[in-house]
Amino acid sequence: MGGVNSNLPGRLGNPEATLDTDPRADPRIVAAMALAGELAPGVDPVGANSTYEECLDYCLAFEEAAALAHPLMLAATPELGVRRSTEVITGVDGNDINLFIHQPANRDASLPCILHTHGGGMVLMTAADPGFVRWRDWLANMGMVVIGVEFRNGGGKLGNHPFPAGLNDCARAAQWVFENKGRLGISSIVISGESGGGNLSIATTLKANKEGWVNQIDGVYAMCPYISGAYSNPPAHLLSLAENDQYMLDGSMMGAFVKVYDPHEEHGTNPLAWPLQAEVGDLRGLPPHVISVNELDPLRDEGLAYYRKLLAAGVSAIGRTVHGTPHAGDIGMPDVVPEVYSESARSVYGFASSL
């Protein structure tokens, strides 16, 4: 085991470092996480060496444990001037896709639209979970139409549907929104998601570019995107995978999620599964992007690496780092760091309104 080197950040400098001992961490987040405890209490972890069946069992158990906090989350959700409705569309496999539509209760003009693809590593959690509902409400209350996609997951209660099922659902949702722009009263379409949803927002746009309908997407706002697939044996240039390992996310655990998304390990170099695998040429012609990352996230550097590829391809792109926060910490803790939450929402709104 290596020694301590105070000149290097996180676990690069001290292999025993944790989020709560890292001086860069926002102390409010550290205190809240200490109070909340584990994300899924009582659920035994899995890793890259776990079987596919063990990983699937974990996804279900994680969702059940996480759902215990949903009543408290719902109770903390503020009442906003937002109207909600649901549309059900048909996917390419004949499956139903629920689209949760949030918009200002009183509106008299066309508004920008956020097509939201939720987090969960493409293998668990749902668009109906209260944290995602609150985020969509918050954005809608600012003056947008926000549409959450209930895509098929690799695991969990919306599984088991490996790649490319969830991607196909997101692509179908994007095309449906474009086809219904007039009826929905929207002026532009931005695909946005966090973590696994960041993957799907980027991958949907790459798919659209490959298939010739990318003009239907006006922008991408990807937050803490989970896009390398390289978690079991992280490459040296993605330093944050070592620097921030076990800061909320664990590399071995993420390797298990890769197995759920791609059970036969057939798509490790496919950019539609793992967008960081895209070549610069694959990115030419894409719409404007914002890539937002968290300073203390293991995934930080893969998001920044994709941002640099966008620039090399001549794509209009903005890179944004939210300091002091772990993975999705800026949008996952609205009552702990409210000004950080609001600032990230303002960034999404400002980008969508500029297009």
pTM for this prediction: 0.97
From first to last of the 355 residues of the chain, give the pLDDT tens digit: 456 777 899 999 999 999 999 999 999 999 999 987 766 777 889 999 999 999 999 999 999 999 999 999 999 999 999 999 999 999 999 999 999 999 999 999 999 999 999 999 999 999 999 999 999 999 999 999 999 999 999 999 999 999 999 999 999 999 999 999 999 999 999 999 999 999 999 999 999 999 999 999 999 999 999 999 999 889 999 999 999 999 999 999 999 999 999 999 999 999 999 999 999 999 999 999 999 999 999 999 999 999 999 999 999 999 999 999 999 999 999 999 999 999 999 999 999 999 9
The CATH code of the domain that includes 277 is: 3.40.50.1820
Count CB neighbours of 189 within 10 A: 23
Backbone torsions φ then ψ of 292, nearest 5 degrees:
-110, 130
Question: Is the residue at 25 inside a domain?
Answer: no
The pLDDT value recorded for residue 1 is 42
Question: Is the residue at 21 inside a domain?
Answer: no
How many domains in the chain?
1
Question: Is the residue at 203 inside a domain?
Answer: yes
Question: Is the residue at 259 inside a domain?
Answer: yes
Condensed to tens digits (0 to 9), the pLDDT of residues 15-54 reads 999 999 999 999 999 999 998 776 677 788 999 999 999 9
Question: Is the residue at 9 inside a domain?
Answer: no
Question: Is the residue at 312 inside a domain?
Answer: yes
Question: Is the residue at 202 inside a domain?
Answer: yes
Question: In which domain, by residue range, is 161 found?
Answer: 46-354
Question: Is the residue at 153 inside a domain?
Answer: yes
The pLDDT value recorded for residue 2 is 55
